Structure 1
Amino acid sequence: MTGHYSSEIDVGFARLDVDRVARTGDPEVVFGGVKTPEQVVVALRTLHQAHPDLPVLATRLTDEAVTLCRRELPEAEVDTVGRTAVLGAPRPARGRVAVVCAGTADLPVLRECAVTVAAFGAHAETVADVGVAGLHRLLAQRERIAACDVVVAVAGMEAALPSVLGGLVGAPLIAVPTSVGYGWHMDGLTAWLAMLNSCAPGVLTVNVDNGFGAGVAAARIARRTGG
């Protein structure tokens, strides 16, 4: 590809794709899991300089990267539960995404998803600890969830939450399996297969613990359909 869509910034350890905004509407995101803390800071700072009017996001930060981001980028919003950092002012939100999780053990994935939704330009409405073991909690939040343009359901164990929500609301529903459970849970494979085999129509499933991927998809749907 040539021309406008080929611009990159070489920072030594990576070539940052600064024209991704022109192609997709969103800046490149820094995956922090395989980068040193110093590399995360450099990448975030460089992307922010290239896109001063948009928030730039880093995910899967190590504890060391969280510490360095707070020291070197004090203006960044750092979420220690979701292991994310956002540098830059939030863009105006369009559309609403309900990010719902079954239990408190799913909070890291919920937070990663909610931060991503906000960084990608939609409003995140978080609803936590409404798993099917306490169905009354979920039913108490049904109207709040149904009022959103998109729903993301995060669950481990047997992953029943997305199927239940699929029978309660009519919004697009993205299911996120988590690697949480007792016994031979197979690191989230049980939850993933359960979500893929949901009997509720309209349930779409992402990979295990992929709150980021669900958040990007949900925000883009909400931006197109939300008021």
Structure 2
Amino acid sequence: MTTEGIAELDHDRASRRGYPEAVYCAGKTPAQLAAIAAEVRDRGTPTLFTRVEPGQVEAVLAELPQAGYHEDARLIAWPPEPPAPTGGLVAVLAAGTSDLPVAREAALTATHLGRACELVVDVGVAGLHRVLNRLDLLRRARVVVVVAGMDGALPSVVAGLVSAPVVAVPTSVGYGASFGGLAALLAMLNACAPGVAVVNIDNGYGAGHLAAQISAP
């Protein structure tokens, strides 16, 4: 199976924009992903496969057996080893453990786009001392990605403590009135602290990509 009639991969994106294309796997069949992975292999194009479902993993790895599969982040990276880091540090904060899949997606994206990245987990606003204990790291970072569901308050708190820009990622984590992340999204869009950019709900890839661009050398 070829990619004709399925996808037109942008193999020149890295030379044009500085960063390679990613493949969003949701909604694609295993056969379609196998064809895409085969073309990626044949062309040697660095590629991230995002939002990989369990039933799709084998199709991609059959064509790219050496690729790195990160189950928690639902991401496959080809090649498996990221490039040597350049530019500034990216700090990624997950408000809670339930936010970790999206935070890991953001961290892995930034790492595979060539940035040094540190991931900090479970520093939500229910225990502000946990954020304050990480101030040394946060103030060393060129950009801070903050991933949070529930009330979505953490990005505004962090932005009030650091000089670096903050990329806020609302997640769909929360009880009924969180409306699948809409409450966190609206809270982040209304952040009081300046310097907060907001991506879409659960969009760890978009946050990691933006952070890599902000922290570029």
TM-score higher than 0.5: yes
Equivalent residue, structure 1, for 2:60: 69
Distance in 2 (alpha carbons) for counterparts of 1:217 and 1:48: 26
> Does residue 78 of the first structure (1) align with residue 69 of the second (2)?
yes
Task: Give the 3-state SS of the residue equivalent to 1:207 in structure 2.
Answer: coil
Quote the RMSD (CA, aligned, Å): 1.7
TM-score, length basis structure 1: 0.88
Equivalent residue, structure 2, for 1:192: 185
Is the CA contact (8 Å cut-off) linking 1:56 and 1:119 kept in structure 2?
A: no
Letter in 1 for 2:11: V
Task: Give the 3-state SS of the residue equivalent to 1:93 in structure 2.
Answer: coil
Distance in 2 (alpha carbons) for counterparts of 1:93 and 1:49: 26
Letter in 1 for 2:149: G
Structure 1, unmatched stretches of 5+, are 1-8
Distance in 1 (alpha carbons) for counterparts of 2:94 and 2:212: 17
Change (3 A) 1:153 1:24: same
Is the CA contact (8 Å cut-off) linking 1:44 and 1:58 kept in structure 2?
A: no
Distance in 2 (alpha carbons) for counterparts of 1:102 and 1:175: 11
1:28-177 equivalent positions in 2, closer than 5 A: 28-51=21-44, 55-88=46-79, 89-94=81-86, 95-177=88-170
- The number of equivalent residue pairs is 214
The Cα of 1:10 is off from its aligned counterpart by 4.7
Distance in 1 (alpha carbons) for counterparts of 2:116 and 2:35: 28
Equivalent residue, structure 2, for 1:221: 214
Distance in 1 (alpha carbons) for counterparts of 2:97 and 2:169: 15
Letter in 2 for 1:126: L
The Cα of 1:48 is off from its aligned counterpart by 4.1
Equivalent residue, structure 2, for 1:182: 175
Distance in 1 (alpha carbons) for counterparts of 2:41 and 2:197: 32
Task: Encode CA deviations 1:74-109: one digit per residue, 9 max, x unaligned.
Answer: 311111111000011422211211011100110111
TM-score, length basis structure 2: 0.92
